[in-house]
Amino acid sequence: MPINKSIFREYDIRGIYNKELNEQSVKLIGYHLGQKIGKGKAVSIGYDARSHSPVLRDYLTSGLNAAGCTVLDMGMVATPVNYFSNYQKIEDLNPKTPHSSLLTPHLEASPDTSIMITGSHNPSEYNGFKITLDKTPFFGEDIYTLGDAIIADQARIVPDDTEKIDIDVKTPYINFMIKEFSHLKGLDKKIVIDCGNGVADTVITDIFDALQFNYTGLYCEPDGTFPNHHPDPSVEKNLADVKAALKKEGDIAFAYDGDADRIAVLTHKHNIKGDQMALLYAMKMENPTVIGEVKCSQVMYDELERRGAKAIMYKTGHSNLKVKMKETNADLACEVSGHIFFKNRYFGYDDAIYATLRMLELIAEGIDLDKEIEALPTVYSTEELNVETTEEEKFAIIDKVKELLINPPADFPVIKSIIDVDGVRINFDKGWGLVRASNTTPVLVTRFESTDETLAKEYEEKVNQLIESAKVLL
């Protein structure tokens, strides 16, 4: 079966198990990635709760072994636990098996690469690979180049070789969190968590139990069929059960996506979005540098600057934000969808479990979350709105929209400025509109915001008209 080039995406490799991600394609991904990593290098692998994740682990291991890498297996973990392995000495991960002597040259170093096998919040038939090489996301052109090499070499036969060394990353991760947040022990709040049958509870209840939290856990058992609801906390309908539990018996609630790198924070009054979370977290940082994606509210950028912080607008995507954080030495980054990245007191990657504990820390310090949210300027914002298109046309439409904005229609709202770091964000007198091409699906993503509800609808209407004109001109 020919390998489908579409599995090689901007931020990761992703496809349907046994169709696009099968024995042939995944072994070759392991082999060619291993060639890139280098012979003799140590690669740590973790996987999510999907039933086919261990199968893909074995295929990937065969490919890496064929390239001469040493494979370290951390088993079922959350994505942030996988990332955590990049910052630990291998000797502290308790490597076991008779073959651990292979690691002697590596023991005082961290793994050279980590690979997380996860479909994140996608339906259960999907899976994929999030790759970190030398503590840096492996994405964009690197993934596309890897894909080209694999497709050119797809006749190669990679033999079965599942030799690997078991490591324990969960224990040092749990211990780190217990130590870092020991001051929260016995916190007098009733907490509700919804793990969505993802992998958050490969560690989270161990941490909560050690810190003697009073909590109720929903759907904590990892189950890759996601029998209770889809594990995407950015979709309102998926929060129905955790909201009901919060109303009945909680003070604060948290929900997680399938691999626990995204978070939803819920009070009795608010579903706190990622850009609002960033404002809350930044309150306890001294003059921080904070990075937001192009979909973040202007309120976040303005409020951060008003408080003396440095605010940077950048591209959407967890890989993009991690790289920009490293480049700018930023303290914090966020996406509206609930990816929260801490460099302040942490390692600079998105970790929903760590973000939970930092939010509980704010509450313990007397921050009234509802009061802080309600003190922000009132704006009217749409959710992310998708415009259907094709993979072939989506970026061409954005280019055509940029051309049309040079001389916009006479009835188009007055443009103050245009930001084109990722698609087009058009700043108007009392708000903004965004059009960008999704890097993962064949859609244009739009979002609109204004201090005036009528104007927000007008911005949406006029920008959508511009998109339709752009389509016609292609």
Q: Is residue 230 part of a domain?
A: yes
Instruction: State whether 457 and 406 are in the same domain.
Output: yes
* 3 state SS of 28: helix
CATH of the domain at 293: 3.40.120.10
d(CA 396, CA 68): 42
Annotated active-site residue 120? The verdict is yes
Q: What is the DSSP string of 343-399?
A: -TTS-SEE-HHHHHHHHHHHHHTT--HHHHHHTSPP-EE---EEEE--TTTHHHHHH
Burial 368-390 (b: 16+ CB within 10 A, else e): ebeebbeeeeebebbebeebebe
3-state percent helix, strand, coil for the chain, nearest multiple of 5: 40, 25, 40
Q: Domain boundary at 260, 293, 320, which?
A: 260
Residues 352, 368, single domain; the answer is yes
The pLDDT assigned to 100 comes to 60
Domain termination site, one of 228, 260, 292:
260
Provide the pLDDT for residue 99.
56
> In this structure, is residue 429 part of a structural domain?
yes
Kindly state whether residues 152 and 203 are assigned to the same domain: no
Low-confidence ranges of the chain (pLDDT < 70): 97-105
List, in order, residues 6 or more apart from 463 with CB less than 8 Å away: 426, 433, 435, 446, 448
The DSSP string of 157-214 is: PPPP----EE---HHHHHHHHHHHTGGGTT-SSEEEEE-TTSSGGGTHHHHHHHTT-E
Q: Are residues 158 and 14 in the same domain?
A: yes
Query: 21 and 137: one domain?
Result: yes
User: 193 with 117, same domain?
Assistant: no
The confidence score (pLDDT) of residue 440 equals 77
For residue 113, with 0-12 CB atoms within 10 Å meaning exposed, 13-18 middle and 19 or more buried, which class applies? buried
pTM for the predicted model, two decimal places: 0.95
373 Cα distance to chain centroid: 23
Tell me, yes or no, whether 29 and 165 share the same domain: yes
Q: Which domain holds residue 251?
A: 185-260
Supply φ then ψ for residue 23, to 5 degrees: -55, -45
Q: What is the pLDDT of residue 2?
A: 87
DSSP string, 114-172: EEEE--TTS-TTEEEEEEEETTEE--THHHHHHHHHHHHTTTPPPPP----EE---HHH
Q: Are residues 386 and 359 in the same domain?
A: no
Residue 83, CA distances (Å) to 11, 89, 92, 136, 205 in order: 15, 13, 15, 10, 19
Tell me the CATH number at 392: 3.30.310.50
Are residues 42 and 140 part of one domain?
yes
The pLDDT, as a whole number, for residue 118 is 96
Q: Which of 120, 124, 337, 450 is catalytic?
A: 120
Count the domains in the chain.
Answer: 4
